[in-house]
Structures are given as C-alpha cells and as structure tokens.
C-alpha cells in the first residue's frame, strides 16, 4: 500500500499551528473573565460589609434614642447647664449653638461628655452616646432635642440621629 501526499513530493503537508494559537487566545480570554469576576466579587463583598457596618451604626444610634426616650422622666429633672454629662440648654441667642442638623458640628463634637445607654451593645466598635438639649418651653410643654451617635463594627461607620421629645407635666 502506497501513501500519497498532497504536495506530490512524498513529504507530509506542513502544519501551521492554528489550533495552538486559538487555544492560547481562548485561555487568555477565560483568564481575563476570571480575573474580572474575582475583582467584582471582592468589590461586592466590601460593599456588603460597609452596608452591614452602617446598619449596625444606625441600630446603635436608634438604641441611644430609645434609651433617651425611656429615661426621659429621670433626666428631665436634672440641671441642664453643662455640669451634668450630656445635658445642655439650647440658647437661641448664641449663633454657634444653633447647630440642629449641622453634620459638621455633630461630627466634631466631643462625645466623651455625653450620656450612654445603660445596656451595652455587642458587635460595635464604640458604645452609642447621646446629648440632650433642653429647648424653649411652649406653654406647659417641655421640649428636648436628643442627638444620638452610633458607631458600627468599624470606627469609620458613624450614624448621627436626632429626635425631638416633648413632655407635658400632668
């Protein structure tokens, strides 16, 4: 049996290696897709962690507001001149004190002289704190603005909430 070769000279046809080149291109594309997927997964994992930290900070601030609400009758009889930690009086004539919703002011406030809920929270970097401002009374109704600060699992996750409480003596 005689073998015939296409080039007629009795030599096998020369290989061009296109299969190898295509396989390398395909592997490179797969590698790029895998790297992109890994980077995307890492980003989503960090975003989920940040969301969890913010939620923890929000819940901590809510816990501080709840503590302020439940202890309203205890601290409303104290002196609001700054001598009791976390209790201050609002002064409408002081332009520096009308900070209400000023995030810069509350972000730089010295929270060490504030009040803290009796019950400590786990999974937070810092326990929540709050400051109570006695606002001007309207008739017999007393008004108090409570500003609470909560920190999440990471000290960089901070939430500051405010609530206005009223008390009308019986």
Digit-coded pLDDT (tens) for 16-72: 678 888 899 999 999 999 999 998 888 888 888 888 999 999 999 999 999 988 888
What is the three-class DSSP state of 97?
coil
Report the C-alpha gap between 155 and 139 in whole angstroms.
42
Longest alpha-carbon distance in the chain: 119
Q: Assess if residue 84 is contained within a domain.
A: yes
Q: Assess if residue 114 is contained within a domain.
A: yes
Q: Assess if residue 1 is contained within a domain.
A: no
Average pLDDT, the chain: 82
What pLDDT does residue 167 have? Answer: 86
Which pLDDT band, with edges at 50, 70 and 90, does 154 fall under? confident
Q: Assess if residue 18 is contained within a domain.
A: no
Question: Is the separation of the CB atoms in 145 and 135 below 8 Å?
Answer: yes
Report the C-alpha gap between 146 and 134 in whole angstroms.
9
What pLDDT does residue 10 have? Answer: 58
Q: Assess if residue 40 is contained within a domain.
A: no
Q: Assess if residue 82 is contained within a domain.
A: yes
What pLDDT does residue 79 have? Answer: 81
- Residue 79's domain comprises 52-167
What pLDDT does residue 14 have? Answer: 66
Domain count, the chain: 1
**0.85 surpassed by pTM:** no
Q: Assess if residue 81 is contained within a domain.
A: yes
What digits encode the pLDDT tens for the residues 89-145? Answer: 877 776 655 565 566 666 666 777 788 887 888 888 889 999 888 888 888 898 988
Report the C-alpha gap between 141 and 146 in whole angstroms.
16
Q: Assess if residue 143 is contained within a domain.
A: yes
What pLDDT does residue 13 have? Answer: 66
């Amino acid at each position: 049996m005689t073998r015939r070769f296409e080039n007629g000279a009795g030599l096998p046809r020369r290989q061009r290696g296109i299969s190898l080149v295509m396989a390398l291109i395909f592997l490179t594309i797969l590698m790029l897709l895998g790297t992109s997927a890994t980077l995307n997964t890492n980003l989503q994992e960090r975003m989920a962690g940040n969301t969890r930290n913010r939620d923890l900070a929000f819940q901590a601030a809510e816990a501080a507001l709840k503590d302020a609400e439940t202890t309203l009758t205890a601290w409303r009889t104290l002196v609001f001149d700054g001598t009791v930690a976390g209790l201050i009086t609002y002064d409408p004539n002081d332009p520096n004190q009308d900070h209400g919703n000023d995030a810069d002011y509350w972000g730089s406030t010295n929270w060490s002289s504030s009040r803290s809920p009796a019950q400590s929270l786990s999974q937070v970097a810092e326990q929540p704190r709050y400051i109570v401002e006695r606002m001007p009374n309207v008739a017999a109704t007393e008004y108090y603005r409570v500003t609470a600060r909560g920190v999440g699992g990471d000290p960089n996750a901070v939430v500051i909430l405010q609530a206005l409480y009223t008390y009308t003596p019986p």
